[in-house]
């Protein structure tokens, strides 16, 4: 029998994804979405969410495996049991994150911020951020322009393109047309 408590975090944040099982002893692959991949292990315990079911899990062990990790969950010792977690989101409570200094923010904080350029033209709303090799990218959707169904991709280069992020007004000012 699996001894896992069932509850969910008060303020949830997805930090990874569960992959396929590894071996026959209950190991399973995970993919970290944190900036520094190993930081995902600083935010234990985790919650798994799959098919609207929340499960709080505790790790027994973890190892680096290729570009990702494999984990062993406490009280799970076989492949068939751990396979039920494949494709689950790995979620933490936002309260587990370090407290930020003034004018600092997490990526999830600027989702839904309004984006305007330095000429006061509305460009849209941030729907996501994308990490690339050279710089991060804001994905902006203009919901007011019905003719434009494409997202605008704006390089997240502070001072050159991103002029200001106003946390109180939830606005990002950019040099962009």
**DSSP secondary structure letters along 3-39:** -------SSEEEEEEEEEEETTTTEEEEEE-SSSGGG
The highest-confidence range among 4-13, 16-25, 132-141, by mean pLDDT, is 16-25
Please give the CATH topology (third level) of the domain spanning 107-174: SH3 type barrels. (2.30.30)
Q: Among residues of the chain, what percentage have pLDDT more than 70?
A: 93
In this prediction, residue 177 carries a pLDDT of 84
Q: Which CATH architecture has domain 12-96?
A: Beta Barrel (2.40)
Give me the DSSP letters along 139-159.
Answer: EEE-SS-TT--SPEEEEE-BT
Task: For 48-74, write each residue's pLDDT tens digit.
Answer: 999 999 999 999 999 999 889 999 999
The domains of the chain are located at 12-96, 107-174
| pTM for the predicted model, two decimal places | 0.77
């Amino acid at each position: 029998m699996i001894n896992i408590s069932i509850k969910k975090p008060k303020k949830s944040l997805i930090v990874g994804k569960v992959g396929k099982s590894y071996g026959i002893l209950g190991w399973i692959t995970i993919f970290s979405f944190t900036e520094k991949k190993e930081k995902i292990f600083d935010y234990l315990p985790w919650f798994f969410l799959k098919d609207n079911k929340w499960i709080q899990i505790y790790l027994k062990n973890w190892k680096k495996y290729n570009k990702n990790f494999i984990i062993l969950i406490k009280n799970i010792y076989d492949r068939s049991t751990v396979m039920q977690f494949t494709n689950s989101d790995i979620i933490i409570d936002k309260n587990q994150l370090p407290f930020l200094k003034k004018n600092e923010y997490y990526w999830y904080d600027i989702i839904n911020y309004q984006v305007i350029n330095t000429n006061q033209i509305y460009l849209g709303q941030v729907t996501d951020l994308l990490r690339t090799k050279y710089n991060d990218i804001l994905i902006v959707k203009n919901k007011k322009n019905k003719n434009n169904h494409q997202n605008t991709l704006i390089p997240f280069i502070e001072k050159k393109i991103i002029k200001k992020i106003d946390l109180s007004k939830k606005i990002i000012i950019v040099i962009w047309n």
